[in-house]
Structure 1
Amino acid sequence: MAVVSGLRWSHVGLNCRDQKATEDFYSRWFGFARARVVEADGTRVVFLRRDQVYLELFATDAGPAFDTLADGPRHPGTARHLAFQVDSVDAFLDTAGGELDVTLGPLAFDAFIPGWKTVWVKDPDGVVVEVSQGYSDQEAAELATYA
């Protein structure tokens, strides 16, 4: 069995009917706070963090930047995908040796974070699993610019 070194938990992506209401819920009741906001092509994705636990919030009306099921289902109230961080997406894929069902990517998100790269794969039951490298939180001053 191949095990990738540096593998660690990252986040769960959640589909939200009302992204702000979902953010408020997890902030108020579970102590999460914004760690990053990514906006592209009219789509906003909000990352919440509490200690080492992250939630990634998607509006269910996500626009063209996320108009695919390759990163997970888009039904409100469901998990979109599970996610792990690795030191290198390329090394992860090399270790897999073509045995994974890649649904999307690898894609580079250098416009948001230099070195951020992601690939999505399916597990045997069809659950989408995101594998990323290079994610980091935003600085507080930049986060404050988002409503």
Structure 2
Amino acid sequence: MKWHHVGIQVQDLEKSEKFYEEVFGFSIEQRLELVGEKITFLKRDSIRIELIQSEEKEEYHKDNMHISWEVNDLSDWNIHLQRNGIIPTEGPIKLKNGWSTVFYEGPNQEIIELIEVANDT
């Protein structure tokens, strides 16, 4: 297992992109759209940040963050977690970029995402 990204829910995607690019030297890795969300992945060296903007302004929650780990085999991890009584809260989801992802809830209601990357660029 290795670290993949930290997700941050933002109010203004363009302003947030500019901030992380100009202040911390990140560059845009890719942009995605899911139902009701616009997403930008920023990358600097091995650090990746996911910025998430809900299309519904009232959906913004400043404390809505998640932890994500990249795994080699999402199916094996899902079996392992279910054997330990941890069931997915969302997913598995196959993204258009080839990634697969599943979300779980941790003991403190934190969101834990496991992601399998088909072709990491």
Q: TM-score, normalised by structure 2?
A: 0.85
Name the amino acid aligned to 1:28: E
- Counterparts of 1:89 and 1:19, CA distance in 2: 29
2:33 to 26, 39, 53: 39
The aligned counterpart of 2:70 is: 85
- Secondary structure of 1:125's counterpart equals coil
Q: Hey, what's the Cα distance between the residues in 1 that align with 2:45 and 2:63? A: 23
1:21 pairs with one of 9, 15, 20: 15
Residue 60 of structure 1 deviates from its aligned partner by 3.3
Match of 1:104 among 83, 90, 98: 90
The structure with the largest strand share of the pair is 2
The CA deviation string for residues 97-145 of structure 1, in whole angstroms up to 9 with x for no partner, is 2521421011112xx223x1110001100000110001634xxxxxxxx
Stretches of structure 1 that go unaligned for 5 or more consecutive residues are 1-6, 64-72, 138-147
Q: Which amino acid aligns with 1:22?
A: S
Which AA in structure 1 matches 2:24?
A: F
Give 4+ residue runs of structure 1 displaced > 4 Å after superposition. Answer: none
Cα pair distance change 1:74/1:91, threshold 3 Å: farther
Tell me how many residue pairs correspond in the alignment: 118
Q: Deviations over 1:32-81 (max 9, x none)?
A: 11001112456421000011111111113359xxxxxxxxx841x33431
2:108 aligned counterpart, secondary structure: coil
* Percent identity (aligned): 25
In angstroms, what is the RMSD of aligned CA positions?
Answer: 2.1
Q: In 1, are the aligned partners of 2:36 and 2:55 still within 8 Å (CA)?
A: no
Check conservation: 1:12, 1:79, Cα contact below 8 A: no
Structure 2 unaligned blocks of 5 or more: none
1:121 pairs with 89, 104, 108, which one?
A: 104
Taking the aligned partners of 1:105 and 1:40, their CA distance within structure 2 comes to 13
- Within the alignment, does 1:59 sit opposite 2:59 as a pair? no
SS at structure 2 position matched to 1:87 = coil
Counterparts of 1:46 and 1:62, CA distance in 2: 17
